[in-house]
Amino acid sequence: MITNCETCGIEFQNGDFVSGRQYYSCSRCRKYNRKTNGYIPFEFLRSLKAKMRDSKLVNQIWEKIHHTVLDVSGGEVFELSCYKEKDFDKMISLQNKNYDYYKEFNSHTEKVNVDDQNYYWTVYYR
């Protein structure tokens, strides 16, 4: 059965008759998750939700930034971080402190407004 990817909108074959799975995102937008033995659209969102401790907020932010993240990274996202505007200095400090860890990755930072609050997000990609 052909359907459209919920994330990027392209058409793809969503049925896998061998394993009995159905997908809601194309192979470009999903990664294999060994923990659940299944595919989820973006593993890095799970770690962001754990850091921010607010799944609803992360979903609202992702809804606004996912096109930019995918366009900038080409779908090769290593990590996505997000901080409130008041914590922007903390984000820069962490990036500088962990420079050796992130030096092999490219990054892109932007500002997004959700529910009248500003957040800065950074995507790390290859």
* 37 and 6 in a common domain: yes
Q: How does pLDDT run across 105-121, given as a tens digit for each residue?
A: 888 999 999 989 999 99
* 28 and 16 in a common domain: yes
Q: In which domain, by residue range, is 3 found?
A: 1-41
Looking at per-residue pLDDT, the higher value among 58 and 121 belongs to 121
pLDDT for the residue 94? 79
Structural domain tally of the chain? 2
Type of residue at 46: R
pLDDT for the residue 32? 47
* 48 and 29 in a common domain: no
* 50 and 28 in a common domain: no
Do 124 and 107 contact (CB within 8 A), yes or no?
Answer: yes
Q: Is the pLDDT of residue 93 over 70?
A: yes
The closest of 66, 23, 73 to 45, measured between CA atoms, is 66
Supply φ then ψ for residue 37, to 5 degrees.
55, 40
* 61 and 35 in a common domain: no
* 99 and 68 in a common domain: yes
pLDDT above 90 as % of the chain: 12
* 63 and 120 in a common domain: yes
